[in-house]
Amino acid sequence: IYVALESGRPQSASGLPSVQRLQIPPDVPTDEICEYEADAIARYISDSLDNGIDPACGQENLKPGDFMIITQKTKNLPIYGR
């Protein structure tokens, strides 16, 4: 079954997956963007796991494997794994 993802879709009544877009504040230095993103993503996932619900789609009983990080390039992926 193919389910199209919609960027930034608020609370999904259907419980289908959602995609969130992270906006980087303009005051974040260019050489610190990856670290900023990694920290923001880690906090979002941690908060969702701690609270037992993904605020973007309303999915409950979350596991770490329920999240996927998509990046434009693979060069900086190790930063997101820390």
SS (H, E, C) the chain: CCCCCCECCCCCCCCCCCECCCCCCCCCCHHHHHHHHHHHHHHHHHHHHHHCECCCCCCECCCHHHCCCCCCCCCCHHHHCC
Q: What is the pTM of this model?
A: 0.69
Average of per-residue pLDDT values in the chain: 79
pLDDT (mean) for 27-55: 88
pLDDT of 10 higher than 80: no
d(CA 16, CA 72) in angstroms, rounded, equals 23
Sign of CA dihedral 70, 71, 73, 79: negative
